[in-house]
Chains A and B, each alone.
Chain A
């Protein structure tokens, strides 16, 4: 069988095989289940660092520098970089590698991922892709989200340490009070620190944090100027601090919660698909027509369908 050969190559950490597996996972190919079943015990061994923030904030450049920092510390790294899929054509231009030249030249495995219509900042299959990547034996997986909006917070359900990159000039201090992306950062980065307004942004973020509930881990704010490689060592040190903090505070419990969240999601997806096949598209269309004509209300319709 083709899958058997691939599984064998994966267990040897073969780069081509890992790349192929990532494609199969992305395509939601039928063979994926069998393969993942076989390698599952070998996955879950990397420390996952998520990097999110608005488009153009400098995420890819920071990922590139962090990857090299990890290398310097004798850690093996893998990178997944997500970019958006066009809602019109289904195509994508994936350009994160452009900013990852030094990581590429160090031989680090970088995979560009298209979101393929999934919302939330990642692709639907990103979790399994991380597991696939782990077959290379990497200690650290860096996951870069699409240029995120305020609500793209899914990375927090995936990463051990989430870094939110902000830049000056995007809004006033009220922006910092809003719910969403800023809340999920274990570390907040003010990039483009050489631009006017970066000190002020750092202060505003600090103020925001001080107004909030005090937890054991207070997200540090690190100012970086990524293109000049400034502040990266400090950022790396904060990541290590956060990792230590997690390890002293039930990292396994946090990871277990994330797995439970995933399982619930996958289960609801499967149950949904099964039920839809059972009920059939026609029934959904009929019910919709009835709801439209006000012959039935949506709640009764749902109840009826579920009972079928």
Chain B
């Protein structure tokens, strides 16, 4: 039905406070007609997965610039598994070294968008995956 909306949770795990990127993405997704649940700074993987399940989102978007992703990514993947919620996909952005990307994709991060990615590409990616 037409009334169904794509829902995305945007979270900012870890301790850095640079949330400009997360806010830009939230706004761009909103303007493309999605419903964005913005949870703000310093979210633990448990908070994020709990919120994603309650909000019944299609995607979790993680913005990480501090290097904490090597701890956060596996934890979020694992928690989704534990909760039988592997159908919720994870996308990430921020500072993730290019050479690590294949490794993260392998454990279950759906896509990684580095600095300079156009918001249009992200929107297209999400739209394509939900279909």
| A31 to B: closest C-beta gap in Å | 11
Query: Of the 9-residue stretches B45-53, B70-78, B89-97, B105-113, which lies at the interface with chain A?
Result: B45-53
Mask, A20-41, CB within 8 Å of B = 1, is 1011001111100000000000
> In the complex the two chains form, is B84's CB within 8 Å of A98's CB?
no
Would you call B26 an interface residue if the criterion is a C-beta within 8 Å of the partner chain's C-beta atoms?
yes
Is chain A's interface secondary structure helix, strand, loop, or mixed overall? mixed
Among B3, B29, B40, B85, point to the contact of A91 (Cβ < 8 A). Answer: B29
Would you call A44 an interface residue if the criterion is a C-beta within 8 Å of the partner chain's C-beta atoms?
no
Query: Of the 9-residue stretches A104-112, A165-173, A228-236, A275-283, which lies at the interface with chain B?
Result: A104-112
| Interface size in chain B (residues, C-beta < 8 A) | 29
Residues of B within 8 A of A97 (CB): 37-40, 51
Known: A23-B56, A89-B32, A98-B38. A114 touches B51 (CB 8 A): no
Instruction: Give the contacts of A78-100 with B (CB-CB under 8 A).
Output: 85-86, 88-95, 97-98
Would you call A242 an interface residue if the criterion is a C-beta within 8 Å of the partner chain's C-beta atoms?
no
Indicate the size class of the contact surface on chain A.
20 to 34
Residues of B within 8 A of A27 (CB): 1, 3-5
| A209 to B: closest C-beta gap in Å | 37
- Separation of A110 and B9 alpha carbons in the complex (Å): 13
> In the complex the two chains form, is B53's CB within 8 Å of A89's CB?
no
| B83 to A: closest C-beta gap in Å | 7
Residues of B within 8 A of A16 (CB): 53, 83-85
- Separation of A91 and B50 alpha carbons in the complex (Å): 23
- Separation of A15 and B38 alpha carbons in the complex (Å): 21
Would you call A192 an interface residue if the criterion is a C-beta within 8 Å of the partner chain's C-beta atoms?
no
Instruction: Give the contacts of B18-59 with A (CB-CB under 8 A).
Output: 26-27, 29-40, 47, 50-51, 53-56
- Separation of A68 and B29 alpha carbons in the complex (Å): 32
Residues of B within 8 A of A89 (CB): 30-33
> In the complex the two chains form, is B53's CB within 8 Å of A94's CB?
no
| A75 to B: closest C-beta gap in Å | 19
Among A94, A101, A107, point to the contact of B38 (Cβ < 8 A). Answer: A94
Among A28, A29, A93, A116, point to the contact of B26 (Cβ < 8 A). Answer: A93
Would you call A19 an interface residue if the criterion is a C-beta within 8 Å of the partner chain's C-beta atoms?
yes
Instruction: Give the contacts of A140-173 with B (CB-CB under 8 A).
Output: none
- Separation of A30 and B4 alpha carbons in the complex (Å): 12
- Separation of A204 and B4 alpha carbons in the complex (Å): 45
The residue on B at minimum CB distance from A105 is: B47
> In the complex the two chains form, is A110's CB within 8 Å of B54's CB?
yes
- Separation of A93 and B56 alpha carbons in the complex (Å): 15
- Separation of A89 and B1 alpha carbons in the complex (Å): 17
- Separation of A98 and B36 alpha carbons in the complex (Å): 12
> In the complex the two chains form, is B3's CB within 8 Å of A93's CB?
no
Residues of A within 8 A of B56 (CB): 19-20, 22-23
- Separation of A114 and B35 alpha carbons in the complex (Å): 7
Among A29, A91, A101, A112, point to the contact of B33 (Cβ < 8 A). Answer: A91
Residues of A within 8 A of B84 (CB): 16
Minimum-distance CB pairs A-B, first 6: A91-B30, A19-B56, A98-B40, A90-B33, A27-B4, A91-B33
Interface residues of B (CB under 8 A from A): 1, 3-5, 7, 26-27, 29-40, 47, 50-51, 53-56, 83-85
Q: Give 6 A-B contacts (CB < 8 Å), ordered by A residue.
A: A19-B55, A23-B7, A27-B5, A94-B37, A110-B54, A112-B37
Interface residues of A (CB under 8 A from B): 15-16, 19-20, 22-23, 26-30, 85-86, 88-95, 97-98, 101, 104-105, 107, 109-112, 114, 116
